[in-house]
Every structure is written in structure tokens, then in C-alpha cells.
């Protein structure tokens, strides 16, 4: 991939520059033999010790036998290790990103619940901390509530349109339950199997009612 090639290019550029520096400084010293006698040797020495320290003995023995085998082994270790490293880094970044998104979404939902609950308590007509069908109509006619729902990315039109589905089999909600139900209408939410099953059950019930009417 592009990131692997960029990493390799940067690594070899750094090694090449320092190979020149060390050859100039150490070529006539006791540290030169076997490592800093010339630039290619210095590049090889620095690379093996910097990037493939654990495989240095293997690489030295392969180089002593055949240059082609050495190049093949070098390609294997470099591409293999850097590819795996990039895959691991990518996986870790993805995990961190997912966790961050989940935590951010959770914090946002909790803030939404608090704000919505507070407003519902303020406009609760009989202060019973419940929302009936009749109260739902008056709540959705409240400009402050509509504005708050819009700020929370709730699809107000869909919520009103599917009021019968919301209150199917239930004449009133406790406030926390109602808040959870309302937040299910946020535009950012995805449809779940549970949602589809609920809609199917409501449709089946309505179809049954229509059949009973036509039967009479």
C-alpha cells in the first residue's frame, strides 16, 4: 500500500544519509571493519540493526551465501513486518475510532434524554410524569418541544405521523419510556429488526381489524 511504500522510502532515506555520515567518520577507525568500510556496507549494517535486529544473524549468513537469496529474504522480512505492522495500526485506529464514536453518541443521547425529560416535566399538564395520547397531541403542538426535538435531530413529522404505532397497545407512557421512544425517531438511527417486527405486528393488527369490518 501507499503507507508501506512511504514508510520504506523514509526509512531508507534516513539510513542512507547516516550511512554516509558514519562512513566519513568511522571508515579509518577500528569500528569500520564489517560495517562502515563503504556506503553499501554501512546501509546494510544500519538497516539490519535498526529494522531487523532480531533477524540480523540470519541475514548475515544468507548474505554470505548468495546475494539473490539475501535480497529475497530482505524483501520478505521488510514487506512482511511492515505490512503486518500497518494492519495492526489500522485495526487499533479503527477500534479507537469506533469506541470514540460510541462514547460520543452515548454522551449525546444521555444529554438529549435529560433535556427532553426536563422539558416534558415543565409542560406535563397533570404532573403525573406520564404521557397519554391526549397529552402527546398537546406536547407536539408546543413550539418549545418541537424546537427541542428538531435540535435533537428527531424526525418530528414521522413521530406525529406514526403516533398510532407509538401508542399501539399502550394508552400512556412513563416519561423515561416515552423519551426512549421519541429518541428512536432520530434521523441518525438505523432501522432494526425489532422496528420491522413492531411495524409488521401493527400492520397485521390493522389488517385484521379491516377484515372484521368488511366481514360485518
pLDDT at 137 over 70: yes
pLDDT at 191 over 80: no
Read off the pLDDT of residues 149-172 as tens digits, 9 standing for 90 and up: 888 788 888 888 878 777 777 778
- pLDDT computed for residue 195 by the predictor: 66
* Domain residue ranges in the chain: 2-97, 109-215
Alpha carbon 132 to chain centroid, angstroms: 38
- Closest by CA to 203, choosing from 173, 171, 162, 170, is 162
Read off the pLDDT of residues 56-90 as tens digits, 9 standing for 90 and up: 778 778 878 888 888 888 887 777 777 777 788 88
- Closest by CA to 145, choosing from 129, 164, 125, 122, is 122
pTM of the model as a whole = 0.46
Amino acid at each position: 500500500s501507499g503507507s508501506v511504500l512511504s514508510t520504506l522510502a523514509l526509512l531508507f532515506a534516513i539510513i542512507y544519509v547516516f550511512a554516509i555520515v558514519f562512513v566519513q567518520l568511522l571508515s579509518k577507525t577500528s569500528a569500520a571493519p564489517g560495517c562502515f568500510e563503504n556506503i553499501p556496507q554501512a546501509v546494510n549494517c544500519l538497516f539490519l540493526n535498526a529494522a531487523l535486529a532480531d533477524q540480523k544473524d540470519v541475514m548475515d549468513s544468507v548474505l554470505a551465501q548468495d546475494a539473490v537469496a539475501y535480497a529475497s529474504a530482505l524483501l520478505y522480512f521488510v514487506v512482511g513486518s511492515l505490512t503486518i505492522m500497518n494492519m495492526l495500526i489500522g485495526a487499533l485506529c479503527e477500534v479507537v475510532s469506533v469506541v470514540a464514536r460510541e462514547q460520543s453518541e452515548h454522551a449525546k443521547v444521555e444529554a438529549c434524554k435529560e433535556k427532553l425529560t426536563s422539558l416534558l416535566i415543565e409542560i406535563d399538564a397533570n404532573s403525573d410524569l406520564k404521557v397519554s395520547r391526549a397529552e402527546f397531541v398537546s406536547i407536539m403542538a408546543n413550539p418549545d418541544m418541537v424546537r427541542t426535538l428538531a435540535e435533537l435531530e428527531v424526525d418530528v413529522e414521522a413521530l406525529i405521523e406514526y403516533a398510532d404505532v407509538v401508542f399501539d397497545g399502550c394508552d400512556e407512557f412513563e416519561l423515561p419510556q416515552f423519551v426512549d421512544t421519541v429518541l428512536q425517531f432520530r434521523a441518525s438511527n438505523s432501522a432494526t429488526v425489532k422496528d420491522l417486527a413492531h411495524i409488521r405486528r401493527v400492520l397485521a393488527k390493522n389488517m385484521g381489524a379491516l377484515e372484521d369490518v368488511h366481514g360485518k
